[in-house]
Amino acid sequence: MLMLDWGILLIGLPLSGALLTFIFHAQSRWLGIGTALTINGSLAALLMQFFASTGTQRYPIGSWGAPLGIELYLDGLSITMLSMCSLVGLAVSCYAPAYFHMQSADNRASTATDSVPFNKRSGSGPVRQINKGEYFWPLWLLLWTGLNALFLSADIFNLYVTLELIGLSAVALTALAGSQEALTSAMRYLLISLLGSLCYLLGVALLYHAFATVDLTLLAERMTAVPATWASLGLMATGLALKTALFPLHFWLPAAHGSAAAPVSALLSALVVKASFYLLLRLWLTLFEAFNPGVPDLLGLMGAAAVIWGSLQALRQARLKLLVAYSTVAQLGYLFIAFPLAAGHAGAWYGALYLALSHALAKGAMFLAAGNIQLFAGHDQITALERVAQQLPVSLMAFALAGVSIIGLPPSGGFIGKWLLLEAAISQGHWGWAIIILAGGLLAAGYIFKVIGYAFNQATTPHAVQPVPAVMQWSALLLAIGSLLLGLFAAQPLALLAVGSPFHSISLP
């Protein structure tokens, strides 16, 4: 019964944190960091209990059973995703206060020099700068609530609610940057996100109509091959692929991730897109795998196209943050390549999820480092990144180490994930997929080292630069180191993933 408490705490803590930081906004910084720490603490407790009991857990909230009440469900897959959220969430929570503090200092400086104050229109006497940090906390903790709830939910309507919560808070966070570009892309992101949720909701309605339940386990027992099943599969897959930015539905992602504030970009790229991927995977594994009308091949092809297209676009970018954003498009493609491969080799799921996990850490680190570089140099033009290696070594190291994982070089989590995917592909003789997997790594090396190469350049004429606080540099570096450690300690996370055999396979890769 104690397990239940930790699981519910993981939803309750960020929710109450969101409310508290909203009400007591002056103290939001400490409240927020405190919430992040307690969430990590309860996750650690949950993990310990989970290891002690080794089995899936199901908690009826308020002791109401499945058809009537809400049930939470926990297995290896969901607890891995929860851990991913906590790690990235903690790093971003440490990073964000300093980032927004610097930004508002920047704004104050620029409004002081400008002849016309930037927000004179508000007309409220002495200019009170909007401190974005105060808005960041409630929104981010709400997002965290949504993420944790999504990974713990076990019925498709509840999942819809969490999906919507995630989508709306993510959009608001994107708009927080406040620039013209950010507002436009946030607007587009909002429409896409709503469209995706709507598709998903339609699928839920169809399934509920046909099988009279929204509980995942009951649905899995009752589902038959009727038109409603096919239609809901199509709708839900489309909606979730849209939210996961699967090629060619990725068009909204680079602008949104590229223009948001650095900590927000890190959250969007590392966690938000993974949530919809997790949901698609969960639905696929519990409901739709038995009804297989060639969807895996289609998803795999789109994933392969994403790997190639996203990487090529990343290579072409002149701006650092856009490069990193396109890299996300490419790396998400890898997750979908697992669908066609997993039919004959369950190791592919482990590979894909390991990639998702290490990508979360690495991409989080990369966006944070990119934010540092942008603050340091005042711009993020890749060809003009001279002296970064000399003056911002910790951030560049974070970028490079995260890059190692993204490329999939050993020793890194990305390497283990790619190894497992490759093994699944080659052992079944699927050479086409194997070549895509390898080619994606080569292209990734191209765009990562393009940045690093320019960062080593000596400056011919010194520019004005701004120092970056140590906490911002180190939270990026620690995340990146985490993605490398995943490559050195792979046995434990893989064993964790396998608990409750979410992939219908008893064999570990």
Interacting residues toward another protein by CB under 8 A:
386, 389-390, 393, 404, 407, 409-411, 416, 419, 422-423, 426-427, 434, 438, 441-442, 445, 449, 452-454, 456-458, 488-491, 494, 508-509
The residues, any chain, with a CB within 8 Å of residue 267's CB and separated by 6 or more, are 88, 89, 92, 140, 143, 170, 173, 364
Toward another protein, which CB reaches closer, 45 or 452? 452
The residues, any chain, with a CB within 8 Å of residue 402's CB and separated by 6 or more, are 361, 362, 363, 365, 366, 369, 479, 480, 483
Toward another protein, which CB reaches closer, 64 or 456? 456
The answer to whether 127 and 54 are in contact (CB under 8 A) is no
Nearest approach in angstroms of CB 192 to another protein is 35
Produce one character per residue of 378-405: b if its CB has 16 or more CB atoms within 10 Å, e if not.
Answer: eebebeebbbbbeebebbbbbbbbbbbb
Toward another protein, which CB reaches closer, 38 or 501? 501
The amino acid at 280: L
The residues, any chain, with a CB within 8 Å of residue 461's CB and separated by 6 or more, are none
Nearest approach in angstroms of CB 295 to another protein is 26
Q: Identify how many contiguous H helices and E strands the chain contains and give both numbers.
A: 20, 2
The residues, any chain, with a CB within 8 Å of residue 372's CB and separated by 6 or more, are 262, 392, 395, 468, 472, 473, 476
The answer to whether 76 and 500 are in contact (CB under 8 A) is yes
Nearest approach in angstroms of CB 378 to another protein is 20
Nearest approach in angstroms of CB 389 to another protein is 7
The DSSP letter of residue 215 is B
Toward another protein, which CB reaches closer, 226 or 318? 318
Q: What percent of the residues of the chain are helix, what percent strand, and what percent coil, each to the nearest 5? A: 75, 5, 20
Nearest approach in angstroms of CB 442 to another protein is 6
Nearest approach in angstroms of CB 441 to another protein is 6
The residues, any chain, with a CB within 8 Å of residue 211's CB and separated by 6 or more, are 218, 219, 222, 223, 228
Toward another protein, which CB reaches closer, 57 or 311? 311
The answer to whether 43 and 10 are in contact (CB under 8 A) is yes
CA distance 361 to 417: 13
Q: How many CA atoms lie within 13 A of 56 on its CB side?
A: 17
Nearest approach in angstroms of CB 64 to another protein is 40
Toward another protein, which CB reaches closer, 117 or 411? 411
Toward another protein, which CB reaches closer, 441 or 500? 441
Nearest approach in angstroms of CB 51 to another protein is 17
Toward another protein, which CB reaches closer, 191 or 318? 318
Q: Which residue has the tokens 């436009």?
A: 184
The DSSP result for 438-478, as a single string, is: HHHHHHHHHHHHHHHHHHTPPPSS--------HHHHHHHHH
How would you classify residue 465: left for phi > 0, otherwise alpha for psi between -120 and 50, otherwise beta?
beta
Toward another protein, which CB reaches closer, 298 or 426? 426
Nearest approach in angstroms of CB 446 to another protein is 8
Nearest approach in angstroms of CB 426 to another protein is 5
Nearest approach in angstroms of CB 339 to another protein is 20
3 state DSSP class of 155: strand
Toward another protein, which CB reaches closer, 206 or 416? 416
**Which tokens sit at 21?**
């930081």
> Which residues lie across from 405 on neighbouring strands?
none
Cβ neighbours of 217 (radius 10 Å): 15
Nearest approach in angstroms of CB 500 to another protein is 18
Toward another protein, which CB reaches closer, 205 or 459? 459
Toward another protein, which CB reaches closer, 43 or 494? 494
